[in-house]
Amino acid sequence: MAVSNNSELTIVLAESSAGAPQMGSELGSRAILNSGLLKALRDHFKQVHICEISAKPSLEEDHDHAGMKRPRTVSKATQSIHELVYSHTQQGRLVLTLGGDHSNAIGTLTATTGAFNSKHDRRPAVICVDAHVSINPPEASPSGNIHGMPLAFATGLATSQEKGIFDWIQQNHLIDMKKMVYIGTRDVDDEERKLIQQNGIKFFDMNDIKKHGIDSVASMALEYVGEQTPIHLSCDIDALDPEWAPSAGHLVPGGLSLQEGELVVRRVHETGNLIAMDLVEVNPTINVDGVERTVNSACALVRGAFGLSV
Ligand SMILES: [Mn+2]
């Protein structure tokens, strides 16, 4: 049984790179949308709504706080994303958020969880396709960049009571760590590994994928989240091997082939339970010769997740 009406899509252009050490990913959303994807989505859905959120850091006022860089800018951008995604999810629309850096997922993940909690009294599953686990609490983050922390804030493993710094996140926005699965991980910090183990978070790293094959891993991940569970699919383009996505913020060799990535998102589509998708970290200012290839890969993942033909 489908969990949303599947005929209306909201596209959120999350044009903020304040969570990343370098700028450029704020240009990713439009690069992806304007490469033919918008037309394809408009042909596929009865209605397509487009919203945009951008964030300009005011560096002189946004000093570091508790191990976080540009915390007020990122908090404000993600709160705006949260409010948008929350409202569109509550109206039964599918939501596609195009980043921007990975910190934007703080807004999307808390929004779908909050909306489903308030309307249906149940929390969605979250499938993260990422080279990283992106769950560093600020105090353990080696860099202080919030794009390494989205799952820490979205699960409540990291919290902040400081005014203007993620103080908008409420208990009923927090994702269920028992319904969370990572696919494609291969670059995990020691502290993150501890958190994953302590909290029993499921993951399928690249070794698991080599061992079992991507089709079995997709089956195991979907079986884990359960048949009637709404799914928020959160994709960092760096899950793909740099061969397929060279214009990404943090390249890690040994990743998924595009074909493997497409298989995962299509399997999620086939459940009929997809409620939202994030696609983050496409950065058109990195490896400019590879931008077209990266954008094409991003589009292929979006098309697969929403069941568009290839
Ligand atoms: Mn990543």
Q: Ligand 1 centre and the CA of 134: distance in Å?
A: 7
Which candidate, 164, 168, 29, 30, places its Cα nearest to that of 106? 168
Q: Ligand 1 centre and the CA of 273: distance in Å?
A: 24
**Distance, CA of 121 to CA of 81 (rounded, Å):** 22
What residues does 276 pair with on adjacent strands?
95, 232
CATH architecture assigned to 8-305: 3-Layer(aba) Sandwich (3.40)
Q: Ligand 1 centre and the CA of 102: distance in Å?
A: 7
Q: Ligand 1 centre and the CA of 27: distance in Å?
A: 17
Q: Ligand 1 centre and the CA of 236: distance in Å?
A: 5
Q: Ligand 1 centre and the CA of 184: distance in Å?
A: 10
Mention every residue, 6+ apart, whose C-beta is less than 8 A from residue 17. Answer: 23, 24, 25, 26, 100, 101, 283
Please report the pLDDT score of residue 2 as a whole number: 44
Q: Ligand 1 centre and the CA of 7: distance in Å?
A: 30
Which candidate, 236, 253, 208, places its Cα nearest to that of 297? 236
Please report the pLDDT score of residue 34 as a whole number: 96
Q: Ligand 1 centre and the CA of 148: distance in Å?
A: 8
Q: What is the mean pLDDT of each run of 10 residues along the chain (310 residues)?
A: 69 97 97 97 97 78 93 96 97 97 98 94 95 96 95 97 96 97 97 96 98 98 96 98 96 98 98 98 98 98 94
